[in-house]
Structure 1
Amino acid sequence: MNVLTVVSHPRKDSLTFKVAERFAQGLADAGHEYELLDLHESGFDPVLKGIDEPDWTVAEQPFSPEVEAEIKRLKKHDALAFIYPIWWWHLPAMLKGYIDRVFNNGFAYGSSHLHHQHVLWLGLAGVSKEQMKKRDYDEKMTHLLNVGIADYCGISNSKVEFLYETLDSKPEHYERLLDQAYRFGLNYGKDELIATQ
């Protein structure tokens, strides 16, 4: 598969980017091709402006050059991965804005749907697994991403995974998280993504 891996974090030296690199290494070792898209470095503007507002009265509509370029990029890949920190129990604004603008009417939903076979949502959580489950944050985020976005846009093979306690900077813990990321890449597209807990 050819996997577009979208990374959302303002710092290149962040754990998010280290995770993305190890995930990409796993993809490569499994024989997949990939492209890493750094939303911050690319200068992507997450703010939805009038030209990109969905027009429900038409089957297809023209978009801004920036959105058209991202649609063209998405069409070159047959699978997706999103790697991001979890902020306020949600996607970062940059990534949410990317989806708002690019996963648009007539391309991702409406008269047409995304053609991608798989999508992986890999969120980095500062909290523990128990804290995430305490108020069902994990289930709510999983439902939103798998059903509210992926399924709505035609991707039935959608998987949400979390890396926990990312604020614990002990080297051995970081290495476990990076090993999980590698395994997610290595097992990408398989029925069950295998990670070491």
Structure 2
Amino acid sequence: MSALVVTGHPRTGSLTGRAARAAADRYGADLLDLYAEKFDPALTEADEPDWHDPGKSYSAEVHAHMERIEAATEIAVVFPVWWFSPPAIVKGWIDRVWNHGFAYGADRPRLAGKRMLWLGLAGGPEGYFTANGFHTAMDRQLRIGVSRFCGIPDAALHLVYDTEHRSGDDVLAEAAAALDGLLAG
């Protein structure tokens, strides 16, 4: 098993950062901390998809991230839920790295056979997310719109709710259990 744990929170000591680091340490996974690595989420022309050229050569930064994704059999993206979605740095990582000719649009999907978990830590209560359709919307966007579209049908979304009102240990235990489900399998 070769796992990649991606995280996108500006504070390394946050619950999000702690959950990602703990999983990477526990399983010897490659930890990709987008903030620590100073990843630029802004899509520029160099990394803009080119549907007429599936072999387009993207920037060196993007190629380095593509190589880390390709090397992994399991991918976990651990993020805070802000405004009922992943933060901009995670969205920018998808926009720039999960690109045409790499993650989709190729004759042979390069991500096929991988397993994936989207793990979001949400401050709000589960009832609010469910009643307003936010969990369903995030599930469709990430599990279906990103993972399945890119050849990864074995993907899941797990949201750890009410992180603002639960103990840090309780939140981290739930996050660890979700990550164990991917990384221990």
Does the C-alpha gap of structure 1 residues 37 and 116 become closer, same or farther in structure 2, counting only changes over 3 Å? farther
Q: Specify the code of the residue in structure 2 equivalent to 1:157.
A: D
In structure 2, runs of 5+ residues without a counterpart are none
RMSD: 1.7
In structure 1, runs of 5+ residues without a counterpart are 192-197
Identical aligned residues as a percent = 36
Q: Does 1:184 align with 2:178?
A: yes
1:92-120 deviation digits (Å, cap 9, x = unpaired): 00010001000000000001421352110
Does the C-alpha gap of structure 1 residues 67 and 103 become closer, same or farther in structure 2, counting only changes over 3 Å? same
* Partner-residue secondary structure (3-state), 1:152: helix
Q: Does 1:104 align with 2:99?
A: yes
Aligned residues: 183
Q: What TM-score, normalized to structure 1?
A: 0.87
Q: What TM-score, normalized to structure 2?
A: 0.92
Runs ≥4 in structure 1, deviation > 6 angstroms? Answer: none
* Partner-residue secondary structure (3-state), 1:182: helix
Q: Does 1:155 align with 2:149?
A: no
1:54 CA drift (Å): 0.5
Q: Which has the higher contact order (CA 8 A, sep 6+)?
A: 1
Provide the rounded CA distance (Å) in 1 between the counterparts of 2:45 and 2:178.
Answer: 38
1:185 CA drift (Å): 2.7
Partner of 1:16: 16
* Partner-residue secondary structure (3-state), 2:18: helix
Provide the rounded CA distance (Å) in 2 between the counterparts of 1:58 and 1:24.
Answer: 35
8 A Cα contact 1:118 1:189, kept in partner: no
Provide the rounded CA distance (Å) in 2 between the counterparts of 1:185 and 1:65.
Answer: 30
Provide the rounded CA distance (Å) in 1 between the counterparts of 2:82 and 2:33.
Answer: 18
8 A Cα contact 1:9 1:85, kept in partner: yes
* Partner-residue secondary structure (3-state), 2:38: coil
Partner of 1:174: 168
Q: How does 1:1-197 map to 2 (within 5 A)?
A: 1-24=1-24, 28=27, 33-111=28-106, 112-113=108-109, 114-168=111-165, 173-188=167-182
1:116-157 deviation digits (Å, cap 9, x = unpaired): 521100001110010111211001100111110000000010
Provide the rounded CA distance (Å) in 2 between the counterparts of 1:137 and 1:13.
Answer: 27
Provide the rounded CA distance (Å) in 2 between the counterparts of 1:16 and 1:55.
Answer: 34
1:88 CA drift (Å): 1.0
8 A Cα contact 2:8 2:78, kept in partner: yes
* Partner-residue secondary structure (3-state), 2:32: strand
Provide the rounded CA distance (Å) in 2 between the counterparts of 1:60 and 1:148.
Answer: 22
Provide the rounded CA distance (Å) in 2 between the counterparts of 1:174 and 1:99.
Answer: 28
Q: Specify the code of the residue in structure 2 equivalent to 1:146.
A: R
